[in-house]
Structure 1
C-alpha cells in the first residue's frame, strides 16, 4: 500500500497550481511500449478540499462534530452519504493505481467531474476553485500515468463547469481554461477543435486504436444555454460537435482504425436533448463496425443500456418503456427497474435479433463515495497478432447498407413539424459487419473488465490504510485462468496478483465463484451484452438479478 506520507500530494498540487510554470507536454505514444491489452476507466473523483474528519454529514462533511458517531465523517471518506471525496481518498486511489496498475495498462479513460458538488449553501463553489481542483487532479494524473508513457484521455463533466450544468457555445472561458489544464493530454492536431468545443480525438495506439472524448454538456438536457441539436439550428454547438464526430468516425473507418467513444453524461432519452439523442444514436449504429464501445460515468451506479434502431423511429412512449431515466431525477431503485424493462423489451431469441440494430452504453461507477463505495474499472482487450488478423489486413472494404424506413415514418415525415426532425433527415448508409471487432472476438475486441472497490472506509485511519478489493469480473472461468500448458502464450485479462486468493487458486465453485464471476461473458461484443440483457430479463434468474442490483449500487447493504 502507498505510504500515508504520499496522500498529501493532491493538496500540495492544489496549492501550487497557480504558481507553477506551464510546461507544454505532448500525449505519450504507445509505440515505444509493448501492449498489455488493458486500460483503466476512472470517473467522478469529486475531491473536496473542505472535507473534515469527524465533521457532520449533514454539513456535507465540512463543519461541526455531531454527538452520534454514525453521523460523523470518516477520515478517508463517508460512503452512503452526500459528502464528496476527501483529498486523502483521491490521493490514495491514484497512488494505489500508480503502484499496482500503471505498468499493467495501455491508456486511461478519465470521464470527468473533478470538482466537488455544490451541496453546501454556506460554502458555495466558485469558478476559480473548480479550475484549481481540475489543475491539481490533472497534475496528479500526469505524474501517475503520463510520466510513464500511458496516454490519458480526459473529458468534461457537468460539475467541471460553472454555473452547474451550464455551458455556452465556445470558444469561451471554459474551453480556454481546460485547453490549458489538459494541454499535455490533447494532441496538437486536435487543439484548435478543443478550444472551440472541449472535444477531441487521440490515437492511443497509433494507426490502430483511437479514443474520441465528447463534451456531453452540449447534449445535456439540463444545459439550457444551447439549442438542443435542432435540425434548423446548424450552428448549435451540439450539432457542430456531432457533425465533427461524423467526420472523425468516417476518417477512422476509412483508415481501418477502431474507436472508443467516451464522455461524462451517458446518452439516454431523459438526459439528452431529444434531437441530440437521435443524432448520437444514429451515428453509433451507422458506424457500429468502427466503434468498439461507449464509455461513460456521471450516474454513480454500475449498469449498461442499449441504443437501438427503434430510437430512430416514431413509436409511442409506452412501447419505449425501457428508456433509461437519469438517476438524479428518480429514486435510485427506479433506475434498476427501468433497466429491467429495457432488457425485457429485447428480442427474446438470437434468431429474431439483428445485431446491426444495437449499440451498448457502459456506465462506470465513481471514485467518490457519494452515495455508494469508491470504485475503478480495468478493461482488457484482444492483442493478438495484428499481422494475422484478416479483418484488419483485408483490402476489401464493405460498403454501407441503406436503411429502409417504416411506412408510417414515411407518411409522418411528409408533414411539419416532423419534416424537420432528425429522424426524418438521417438517411445515410450504415457500416455494420458481423466480422468487426465489436461483433466477434478478434484483435482489439473488448474482452471484459475487472471492477474494484474500497470498502470499510470508516475503519481506515492512522494505523490502517484503506483496502482495495475486487468487486467482480465479467470473464468466464476459462478466460480468467487458462488451463495448464497455455500460460506462456496467454495474456491474462487480469494479472494473477490482482485477484483474490480464491480465484488465484482456481476456486470457482460455491460462494466464491458466484461472488466474483456473476456473468461469465466470453467477451464484450454486442452479442454478449444482448445475451446478458436477456438473462436479466428472465424473471426466474433471481440470483443473477440480485447480484446485478448489488453491483449496481456498489454493495449498499452488502458491503464487504
Structure 2
C-alpha cells in the first residue's frame, strides 16, 4: 500500500492556507469594485484527484498498486485515458495551472460543479471523511489562488463523491454541511452562510445587480440518497422540498429585480437521476421562471450532452410509469435514448414548454479524457434587427390550464403528489435572454480536451486542444460578424491566441471545429439543433454528436 506522506504534505498546505486566509466579510454589491467584463465564464467539473494514484501500476487496482502483466494495462504518468482510474495530482494541478495561465484573464466567473475527491472504487483503500475534506480543501485553495485572488467569483457545488458515504447526505445542519461551510467560506456570500449550513445551497451575484448563479445541492434530489424523502408532497420539511421552496424565493426576488440567473449543480435534473417528486418540482420551477433562468449547467455524468425539461414531464399518465420506461430506454444505450428524445420534438414546438440542461464532460479520465468548457455570453445588448432593452418589470404569465389533471387528481394515487398542486402562473417572455439574443444571453461555448493524454510523461506534458465549438465560423471575427456586431463593441467569443491556427483569420468556410453552427444558445437554438440531430438523413452530424458525447471513446 502506498504511504500517506502525500496526504500529510497536502494537509500541511491546507493548514497554512487556512491560517493565512482573510476573515469572511459581508458580501454586498457596494463592496464589489466594478470589473471589466470579458463575456466569458468557465465551467469545470468532476476532477476526482486521487492521492493513491501511482504510475506504472495496474488499472485493475484503480491504478494504486501492482505491476500488470500487460503494458497496456499499466497506469500512465499524467492519468490513464478511457480507464476506471481517477486523476493523479499531476493532472489536476496541470489543468488548474493551465486555466490560470491561459484563461484567468479572459473570464468573468467560474462554475465548478463538484466531485473533488476520488471514487470509492478500491476496497483495499477505503475512503475516509478526512481524506475527502482534505482533497476538497486543496482544490479550493488552488481555486482561490488562481481565480478568487483576481476578483473572479467562483461558485462550487457539492458532488455525490464529496460526501461520506458517497451518495448519502442527511438533512442539515450536519457535519458535512458545516465542514464545507468552512472549506468554501471565501466562495459563499456571508448572508447565505446559515442557509448553506442547513442545506449546502446558496447563490452568488457574479455580476452584481445583473446576473446571479444559484448553486444547488442536488444530493437532496438524487434518488441514490436513501436517507431523504424525495420531495414527497406529504413531507413539506423534506430537505428537497425545503431547497426548492428556497430556490423559488430566490428566483422571485431576482425576477422582481430584473436580474438573470444560471442554475447549477452536480447531478443533472432528469427522471433517471432525481426522485420523481423532486423532478416534477424542478421542471415546473424551471418553466415557471423561464424568463429569469438563463440556463442549467451540471456535471456528474462525464458525458457531453444536452437535453430538455418539458411541460409534458408534468403530465399524469395513470397507466404508464414514465420513470421505468426511461430507464428501460437508457439500458439500450444512452446515445440512442438521447436521439429518441430529440425525435419526439414537435416540428413547431411551443417555446414556453421547454428548458435546456447542459451537461459538461469531466476533468477525470474515467472513463474518457479530460475536458472543460468556456462559455461566452452577450455583454453588449441586442444584435438582432433592433436592440431590445433589458426588461426590468415583467408581467405574469398565464396559468397552465392545458393540463387536465382533474380526474387523476381525485384518485388516492395522485391526490397527494406535486403534479396535482402546481397551479402557479408561468412567467414567459419571448424577449427574455433565454429566448432571444440580447444582453446576458448565452452565445456559445468552446470545449477543450486532452486527446493525447496517453502519450504524456515526465518529459512531455499533456496539452489541451480545442475539440469543438458551437459557434458558426463567421462569428469568430468582427469583420465577418457584421456591422451590428462592430457597432455594439465586438467581443471575441474565443480569444484569438486560444484558437487553432486555422481559425485565427477570417475567411474559413468549413472547419471540423464548428459542427453545430449555432448563432446563440437560446432555447429556440437548442431545439433546432435537437431537431437536426434527430433527422436520420444528417448522418455526419449524428456521428459527430456521438463522438463528442464520449470524447472519442466508446459508450459504456
TM-score (norm 1): 0.92
2:343 paired residue number:
344
TM-superposed CA distance for 1:324, in Å, is 6.3
TM-superposed CA distance for 1:405, in Å, is 4.0
User: How many residue pairs align between the two structures?
Assistant: 539
Measured at CA, do residues 291 and 124 of structure 1 come closer, stay the same or move farther in structure 2, by a change above 3 Å?
Answer: same
The DSSP-based 3-state class of the residue aligned with 2:155 is strand
Q: 2:282 aligns with which of 277, 280, 283?
A: 280
The DSSP-based 3-state class of the residue aligned with 2:412 is coil
Match runs of 1:107-506 below 5 Å: 107-315=109-317, 334-347=333-346, 349=347, 352-384=348-380, 390-392=388-390, 394=391, 396-407=393-404, 409-483=405-479, 489-506=489-506
The DSSP-based 3-state class of the residue aligned with 1:176 is helix
TM-superposed CA distance for 1:398, in Å, is 1.4
- Within 2, Cα distance between the matches of 1:318 and 1:548? 31
Measured at CA, do residues 12 and 380 of structure 1 come closer, stay the same or move farther in structure 2, by a change above 3 Å?
Answer: farther
Measured at CA, do residues 530 and 548 of structure 1 come closer, stay the same or move farther in structure 2, by a change above 3 Å?
Answer: same
TM-superposed CA distance for 1:242, in Å, is 0.4
Q: 1:61 aligns with which of 63, 74, 87?
A: 63
- Within 2, Cα distance between the matches of 1:305 and 1:9? 41
1:32 paired residue number:
34
TM-superposed CA distance for 1:411, in Å, is 1.0
Contact 2:473-2:509 within 8 A present in 1 as well: no
Contact 2:17-2:141 within 8 A present in 1 as well: no
- Within 1, Cα distance between the matches of 2:206 and 2:97? 23
- Within 2, Cα distance between the matches of 1:372 and 1:11? 30
TM-superposed CA distance for 1:25, in Å, is 4.3
Match runs of 1:71-82 below 5 Å: 71-82=73-84
Cα RMSD for the two superposed structures: 2.4
1:3 paired residue number:
none
Match runs of 1:504-543 below 5 Å: 504-506=504-506, 508-509=508-509, 513=511, 515-543=512-540
- Within 1, Cα distance between the matches of 2:315 and 2:554? 41
- Within 2, Cα distance between the matches of 1:109 and 1:273? 25
User: Which shows bigger deviation, 92-101 or 498-507?
Assistant: 498-507
- Within 2, Cα distance between the matches of 1:427 and 1:361? 23
The DSSP-based 3-state class of the residue aligned with 2:309 is strand
Contact 2:474-2:506 within 8 A present in 1 as well: no
Measured at CA, do residues 55 and 382 of structure 1 come closer, stay the same or move farther in structure 2, by a change above 3 Å?
Answer: same
Contact 1:322-1:343 within 8 A present in 2 as well: no
1:4 paired residue number:
none
TM-superposed CA distance for 1:16, in Å, is 2.2
- Within 2, Cα distance between the matches of 1:550 and 1:322? 28
- Structure 1 segments unaligned to the other structure (5+ residues): 1-7
TM-superposed CA distance for 1:95, in Å, is 0.3
- Structure 2 segments unaligned to the other structure (5+ residues): none
- Within 2, Cα distance between the matches of 1:299 and 1:48? 19
- Within 2, Cα distance between the matches of 1:317 and 1:364? 35
TM-superposed CA distance for 1:12, in Å, is 5.2
The DSSP-based 3-state class of the residue aligned with 1:338 is helix
- Within 2, Cα distance between the matches of 1:318 and 1:479? 46
- Within 1, Cα distance between the matches of 2:220 and 2:9? 33
| Cα deviation code 1:125-155 (max 9, x no counterpart) | 0110000000000001000100011000000
| Cα deviation code 1:385-418 (max 9, x no counterpart) | 59x96442x56531221110433x2111122131
- Within 2, Cα distance between the matches of 1:10 and 1:443? 46
Measured at CA, do residues 183 and 282 of structure 1 come closer, stay the same or move farther in structure 2, by a change above 3 Å?
Answer: same
1:47 paired residue number:
49
Measured at CA, do residues 85 and 323 of structure 1 come closer, stay the same or move farther in structure 2, by a change above 3 Å?
Answer: farther
